[in-house]
């Protein structure tokens, strides 16, 4: 997002804590909040990569970015990361649960450990993040945005692990919205469709499917990271989304409606994955 339709100081004085914020869509979400005045914390497993991303984000936006190593599968890691973030900035307002893992694999070939790994990163990781965030968000009446997918809306081949995991993420969004609304905390989900230039597109399509945009997306174009950035700004802001909690905002150009959750034709995967 080089220019924005939002005023550039709408998150001034706020702090965003983003799991998976060192790369891809979640880095874009972090940058968008920073460009609009927020400081940030980005967490993921590899500190060396995070440090590079944090420096870049700070240089591009003029805001502060704190990189912290953390495996979302470990609750204790998250408690520590939130404590350090709180000590560093004195507050946490926006939490984005973005850390995720995925790959194409048929249920027949996927190992039990492969299934468990994605469940642990996406579903348990999101629970751990939300739970560790709670004492901090209670103080600021902040918000949580989870990142989900559309795979579980239909039967999406090669995505049994991610479909199950993201169904859990959507369920938690609704439960937490019901439970934590009383604290003034809003919990919502952004569900990106096919977003060009991301790890997701790289890992979840094959070379040939990239050319299928005309038939798989009603709007006839791939999404851009900025599409997710705008959704983030809208849902994170306490004024524009004041009365929105428990929502799942699908940003996919209508893709899942016409082509389901996956875009690899069966002829390309049957017997191979």
Binding residues for ligand COA (CB under 6 A): 100-103, 105, 110-111, 113-114, 117-118, 199-200, 203
Which residue of this chain has its Cβ atom nearest to ligand COA in the complex? 101
Task: Give me the phi and psi of 236, to 5 degrees please.
Answer: -80, -25
Strands 143-147 and 39-44: unpaired
The least distance separating ligand COA from the CB of residue 267, rounded to whole angstroms, comes to 19
Answer whether 238's CB lies under 8 Å from 136's CB.
Answer: no
- Cβ closest to ligand COA, residue 107 vs residue 178: 107
- Helix intervals (H) in the chain: 24-35, 47-61, 75-89, 112-118, 125-140, 160-180, 199-204, 213-216, 225-236, 255-259, 266-269
Q: How far apart are CA 102 and CA 159, in angstroms?
A: 8
Cβ closest to ligand COA, residue 203 vs residue 272: 203
Q: Which is nearer to ligand COA, 99 or 185 (CB)?
A: 99
Q: How far is the CB of 236 from ligand COA (least distance, A)?
A: 21
As a whole number of angstroms, the distance between CA 68 and CA 144 comes to 19
Closer by beta carbon to ligand COA, 149 or else 177:
149
Instruction: Specify the residue, 70 or 118, whose C-beta has the smaller distance to ligand COA.
Output: 118
Q: How far is the CB of 48 from ligand COA (least distance, A)?
A: 15
* Residue with Cβ nearer ligand COA (107 or 171): 107
Q: What minimum distance in Å lies between the beta carbon of 162 and ligand COA?
A: 7
Q: Which residue has the tokens 């003034």?
A: 184
**By CB neighbour count within 10 A (0-12 exposed, 13-18 middle, 19+ buried), where does 218 fall?**
middle
Neighbours of 151 (CB within 10 A): 26
CB of 96 to ligand COA, least distance (A): 14
Tokens matching residue 79? 């408690």
Which residue, 8 or 46, has its beta carbon nearer to ligand COA? Answer: 46
* Residue 42 · residue 54 · CB < 8 Å: yes
CB of 150 to ligand COA, least distance (A): 12
86: exposed, middle or buried (C-beta count within 10 Å: 0-12, 13-18, 19+)? middle
Shortest Å, Cβ 68 to ligand COA: 17
């Amino acid at each position: 997002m080089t220019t924005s339709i939002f005023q550039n100081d709408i998150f001034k004085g706020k702090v965003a804590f983003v799991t998976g914020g060192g790369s891809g869509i979640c880095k874009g979400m972090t940058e968008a909040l920073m460009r609009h005045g927020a400081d940030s914390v980005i967490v993921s497993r590899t500190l060396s990569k995070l440090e590079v991303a944090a420096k870049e984000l700070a240089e591009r936006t003029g805001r502060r970015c704190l990189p912290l190593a953390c495996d979302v599968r470990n609750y204790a890691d998250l408690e520590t990361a939130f404590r350090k973030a709180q000590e560093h900035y004195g507050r946490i307002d926006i939490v984005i649960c973005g850390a995720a893992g995925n790959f194409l694999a048929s249920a027949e070939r996927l190992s039990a450990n492969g299934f468990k790994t994605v469940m642990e990163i996406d579903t348990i990781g999101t629970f751990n993040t939300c739970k560790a965030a709670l004492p901090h968000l209670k103080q600021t009446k902040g918000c949580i945005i989870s990142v989900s997918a559309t795979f579980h809306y239909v039967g999406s081949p090669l995505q049994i692990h991610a479909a199950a995991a993201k169904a859990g993420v959507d369920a938690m969004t609704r439960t937490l919205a019901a439970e934590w609304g009383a604290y003034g905390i809003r919990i919502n989900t952004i569900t990106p469709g096919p977003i060009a230039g991301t790890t997701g597109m790289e890992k979840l399509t094959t070379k040939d499917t990239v050319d299928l945009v005309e038939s798989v997306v009603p709007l006839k174009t791939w999404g851009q990271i900025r599409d997710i950035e705008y959704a983030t700004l809208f849902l994170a802001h306490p004024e524009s989304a004041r009365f929105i909690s428990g929502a799942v905002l699908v940003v996919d150009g209508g893709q899942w409606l016409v082509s389901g959750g996956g875009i690899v034709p069966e002829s390309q995967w049957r017997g191979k994955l």
